[in-house]
Chains A and B, each alone.
Chain A
């Protein structure tokens, strides 16, 4: 058991964990041979495995302490819900895809022809849900007391200091980006991007029914952003970030005194000092010219290249403006995992570092 715990803790360090998640994500969605995981049997199996893991984990004092914190209990519950609904959408989507392949209409088409009464079929069920939810909430509130601590003290902040769970994804981004990007730009772009979706989506299929094959690209992009870059970040922030924002495995003790070496460098330092073997130029523009060029190339050059190659069909279907918006949003999204890998592999602090103007990327 100790070996298993050590192995889990070993896997749980950011580069390994996230690489694993990235790989799992694409395998699960794209590799047809594992698509059996989107069947009800597999769902029960995965659910059982998940519960077994949690059950086993609860026997460990460190795991137990973090999972059963009153703040964290609802998050655990919601994780199972996210898993279930992701599975459900894929299951229904694949089912419809098989029907489409057999020249049958989607299930929803059949259902739309059935007549359902508002009373009792809708309203009665809704009321029952309301009552049962009330019972659940009452019992929950009796059992799990509100996690009230001492009065807030500016001289004694909690360690770790965490945002509410739904912001932990944002907080996790702060590890890799400056506050103005992680706290202002990226969240803003998420909202703007979600609002822009209907206007930049050229695919008219999948309206009113589940499908995967007909909206593969769209589903993958969204689920990558949601499951990997949002939910996984929340999981990381909730369960893996301990005192001093250090990363801890689920069976590891949250030791306040844990020290992790931190020696990050900027791109300008790599280029000037390591490659050219000279000191940093005095002028910041000269100093950061490589980083700035790189960032500009990322946002200007890459869309052009993609438009001629990989995204050629998009470009043709959407036209210049919509295509540019789509690629810009996409690049912003991908910039997060890029920066994460740069940090893990090269200790990259900033690509562009202009502390003179509090501008760092």
Chain B
């Protein structure tokens, strides 16, 4: 019994109204919630992609339809008509046949069913019999009888079924005879439209046609229903074995990038905008046949970012440039994602991800930027101060400073240390002074005093010795010729000779500008004669120069003077400042009283030396140079082995306003290493001290890529690039090749021979030929290509050649230097070359001798003047060819001991294939090989002729070992 309205404390109609409205509100809220949960940006992206694909497919269908051969179609249609007419004529016959066939089908079915039923009865009976017989039951015999009966029945049914099948097949054949032509033609017509049909199916899949299909499409993607078979769905790969460490747990990596990046693993979207663009390097990534198939590697192992994210912001995309950032901010509301320890690498640094899997190699094929960065890091010697994985055990990057007095003067050293670039703009030596945090007047005064100290320390108590006076006078003109021809320019550059900036390999050795103002002539002479006397670990090889050649080169190098206005000289001493600095240093280590005593015991010179020692410790000069007293001092820099994983908030951005990311910080650090001191109050000992390296912006980017590649995360073994024995040999060799800059002169593995440009340049200058001409001519006059060296020469020969080179190509001015390889190093190189060409190592069986006399005679004929005239260019032992040595070719008497027999065959067959640009003529045209040889020798058989030539060459010169 409801109470009357007025008895209520609150007005019921009002409550009802509130109830009505709030219920509507709840409904609206619920709908909104479902929509908010349902509507995800990626669904819109997938719709866009489907529309794009539909558009592309429509165009493709049109093209495919146009491509259909209309004449063929017409023909087929006509034939089809004829065939149909023919079949119509035999309709009655066909009907009768059809009736028979129906009956045959019934028979096949019934016999088959009977057979199968009987088979199951047979199996059961057999089992029962086996059981009874095992139990020695009396009923066994009875059962056996039964089994036999079923068996015979089974055989009967099998026979009946076979018969029925045969009848059916016969009837089908007859029907085929009537309808066959028509069927074949219809198939042909379908084949013509196969492409179109495939595309139409694709179109229907991405854009359903017709009201029914369209409604179905909406239905399957509707909220709540979409758990069954939606067309819009998350696309993910779970790369095998790749895990993510989330600190207390490892979870599988689940890459959902392809939810939006739908076209990335397909071709045909190369020119479409992101997120649909085809991956630019399909040959390396994503494709099933590439080394990094997407289902095994995924995406985030290289690109980083949040693997499971399906939203632009959550995935932690990172812009590559400020323009991209502006665009993203506008389009996607992009902002730096906080709380993400591994955001995506900007595109320009993406090669930083290669190293994690490809460790233990010198260069990573395909990662050009990382490779160059790695070479730079090694060249400038970052590892001298910063410990980093993969750079252990390398020689110090700079020369030793233990006997500096033999080489130069304190005045020069002081001025050089203060600003190396002023003396030699292209030097690798970084700059420590006059930078952002030490260029105020008082800082300059302080640092000059420090430099005085450093120089005093370096020249204090030099090693006894020195170099004798020059044995004579040299000719600078001849010296220049020598320098530009014997091969110095493979590793060194001289600004005066360069027209374009030299490549990295040609900056392997120090740039020689100003050497005349730097080094004493006696030192230069001794150095070029035998560098290892001064610097036992130097990479500089011995070029076996005669005394006169060395004198000429010395004479030339002494003409290379410092830039105009550059004068050596130390700052004037400033005793009060020196006292203050020394006291400051001492005070940090001892009490005031001890400092007093120490200062009293110091002479002015002692103070300078002491300050120098402290400063060398502070600046870490010993990281790159061998300095007496610092032989075992550990490096001063931060270890970089895991820099790429370092948390961003562990970087001190100070008051510098740059985006707070790893790459921005490292880039900024390289660009201006002291900038993070800006606005801070620091004592001179607290100041940042990393020097400024002479990098271009591109080089900086390369170095940053390398630093970012040092990460903590270890990829699973399954996705790691593992080295087999051959690749280990290759990498050990590449290490040596890199250390000795072989590619400065030789083309090896498709890279190097950078000296060729200098030879071409010389040809342009001296012979006045065009640049293109010179370039192709220079190929023959440059040190040889040696990629195939392992297949070309015998291992024992190469071993001896590497240990003590002898001239092979008399026309080359450049000399193969004596590097002073140890046995171990030479062996490593042998293994490297043979591994590279997959040749046998170290021994192989020579062809059996003696060779048939007929063959020898034929070979002699072939080498004669009337035929190939081999000895017009090739030297044969002491017998030299006529004309200028620049036209000569290698000594054929060496062939036996030097060349591999199989290689000789390949070489004679097609020299240009093995050595593009070689001077060796092609006698057997590969295009028409079978008719290329002379017809009157060895029956005109080219293969026999080449074999004869090879065998003949093997008999020249001394007998080879073991034969």
Q: Which residues of A contact B (CB under 8 A)?
A: 114, 116-117, 120-121, 124-125, 127-128, 131-132, 134-135, 138-139, 141-142, 148-156, 256
Residues of B within 8 A of A135 (CB): 22, 25-26, 29
Cβ–Cβ contact A121 & B341, under 8 A: no
Residues of B within 8 A of A142 (CB): 32-33, 36
- Can you list 9 A-B contacts with CB-CB less than 8 angstroms, sorted by A residue number? A121-B8, A125-B15, A131-B23, A135-B29, A151-B249, A153-B341, A154-B247, A156-B341, A156-B649
CA distance A124 to B3 in the complex (A): 14
Query: Is B879 an interface position by the 8 A CB rule?
Result: no
Q: Inside 8 A of B3's CB, which chain A residues have their CB? A: 117
CA of A116 to CA of B9 in the docked complex: distance in angstroms?
6
- Judged by a CB distance under 8 angstroms, whether B340 is at the interface is yes
Tell me, yes or no, whether B843 is within 8 Å of chain A by CB.
Answer: no
- Determine how close the nearest CB of chain A comes to the CB of B683; give it in whole angstroms: 17
Q: Pick from A120, A150, A156: contact of B8, CB below 8 A.
A: A120
Which chain B residues lie closer than 8 Å to A132 at the CB level?
A: 22, 25
Closest B residue to A116 by beta carbon equals B9
Contacts of B134 in A (CB 8 A): none
Seen from chain B, the residues whose Cβ lies within 8 Å of a Cβ on chain A are 3, 7-10, 12, 15, 18-19, 22-23, 25-26, 29-30, 32-33, 36, 246-249, 338-341, 647, 649
Which A residues are CB-close (under 8 A) to B33?
138, 141-142
| Residue from A120, A152, A155, A156 within 8 A of B12 (CB atoms) | A120
A134 contacts across to B, CB distance below 8 A:
26, 29
Please measure, in the bound complex, the distance between the C-alpha atom of A121 and the C-alpha atom of B30, giving whole angstroms.
Answer: 27
With both chains docked as a complex, state the minimum distance between the C-beta of A61 and any C-beta of chain B, in angstroms: 14
Query: Which of A121, A128, A138, A153 touches B247 (beta carbons < 8 Å)?
Result: A153
Please, which residues of chain B bring their CB within 8 A of the CB of A116?
Answer: 9
B340 contacts across to A, CB distance below 8 A: 150
Complex: chain A residue closest to B27, CB-CB: A135
- Report yes or no: B26 in contact with A117, Cβ–Cβ below 8 A: no
Contact of A128 among B18, B248, B341 (CB under 8 A): B18
Q: Are A138 and B30 in contact (CB under 8 A)?
A: yes
Q: Are B248 and A138 closer than 8 Å at their CB atoms?
A: no
Closest residue of chain B to A158 (Cβ to Cβ) is B339
Closest to A147 in B: B339
Name the A residues within 8 Å of B341 (CB-CB).
150, 153, 156
For B18, list chain A residues within 8 Å (CB).
128
- Additional A-B contact list (6), CB under 8 Å, known A138-B32, A155-B647: A121-B10, A128-B18, A139-B29, A142-B32, A150-B340, A156-B647
Answer whether A117 and B8 are a contact pair too, CB < 8 Å, given A124-B15, A138-B30, A150-B339.
yes
Q: Is the CB of B10 within 8 A of A128?
A: no
Say whether, besides A121-B10, A151-B247, A152-B247, A128 and B22 are in contact (CB < 8 Å).
Answer: yes
A131, B26: Cβ atoms closer than 8 Å: yes
- Whole-angstrom distance between the alpha carbons of A132 and B19 in the complex? 9
Complex: A125 Cα to B247 Cα, angstroms? 49
A202 shortest CB reach to chain B, Å: 37
* A128 near B19: Cβ-Cβ < 8 Å: yes
B85 to chain A, nearest CB (A): 71
Q: Which residues of A contact B22 (CB under 8 A)?
A: 128, 131-132, 135
User: Could you tell me the distance between the alpha carbons of A121 and B11 in the complex, rounded to whole angstroms?
Assistant: 9
How far, in whole Å, are A125 and B12 apart by their CA atoms in the complex? 10
CA distance A310 to B12 in the complex (A): 55
Closest beta carbon of chain A to B907's beta carbon, Å: 61
Of all A-B residue pairs in the complex, the 4 with the closest CB atoms, nearest first, are A151-B246, A149-B339, A138-B29, A150-B339
A299 to B124, CA, bound (A): 96
Q: How distant is the Cα of A138 from the Cα of B247 in the complex, in angstroms?
A: 33
CB neighbours (8 Å) of A121 from chain B are 8-10
A-side contacts of B9, CB under 8 Å: 114, 116-117, 121
Q: How far is the CA of A134 from the CA of B19 in the complex (A)?
A: 13
CA distance A290 to B679 in the complex (A): 48
Q: Which residue of A lies closest to B3 (CB)?
A: A117
Q: How far is the CA of A148 from the CA of B309 in the complex (A)?
A: 13
Most buried by B among A114, A138, A152, A156: A138
Find the B residue at minimum CB distance from A154.
B247
Question: Smallest CB–CB gap between A329 and chain B, Å?
Answer: 41
Which residue of chain B has the shortest Cβ distance to A136 in the bound complex?
Answer: B29
User: Shortest distance in angstroms between A253's beta carbon and chain B's nearest beta carbon?
Assistant: 13
Least Cβ–Cβ distance between A56 and chain B, in angstroms: 25
Contact of A120 among B15, B30, B649 (CB under 8 A): B15
Given the known inter-chain contacts A132-B22, A135-B22, A150-B339, please indicate yes or no for A120 contacting B10, CB distance below 8 A.
Answer: yes
Q: Which residues of B contact A156 (CB under 8 A)?
A: 341, 647, 649
Q: A138-B30, A138-B33, A153-B247 are in contact. Are A125 and B10 (CB under 8 A)?
A: yes
Q: How far is the CB of B646 from chain A (nearest CB, A)?
A: 11
CB A26 to nearest CB in B, in angstroms, measures 39
Most B CB within 10 A of own CB, among A127, A148, A153, A256: A153
Determine if B247 and A117 form an interchain contact, defined as CB atoms under 8 angstroms apart: no
The residue in chain A whose Cβ has the minimal distance to the Cβ of B249 is: A151
Name the B residues within 8 Å of A155 (CB-CB). 247, 647
Question: Could you tell me the distance in whole angstroms from the C-beta of A133 to the nearest C-beta in chain B?
Answer: 10
State in angstroms the CA–CA spacing of A155 and B15 once bound together: 56
Within the complex, the shortest CB–CB distance from A328 to chain B, in Å, comes to 43
Q: How far is the CA of A153 from the CA of B650 in the complex (A)?
A: 14
Residues of A within 8 A of B338 (CB): 149
**Identity of the chain A residue whose Cβ is nearest the Cβ of B652 in the assembled complex:** A257
Distance in angstroms between the alpha carbons of A155 and B36 in the assembled complex: 36
Q: State how many angstroms separate the Cβ of A266 from the closest Cβ of chain B.
A: 29
Q: Which residue of B lies closest to A141 (CB)?
A: B33
By a CB distance below 8 angstroms, the chain A residues around B248 are: 151-152, 154
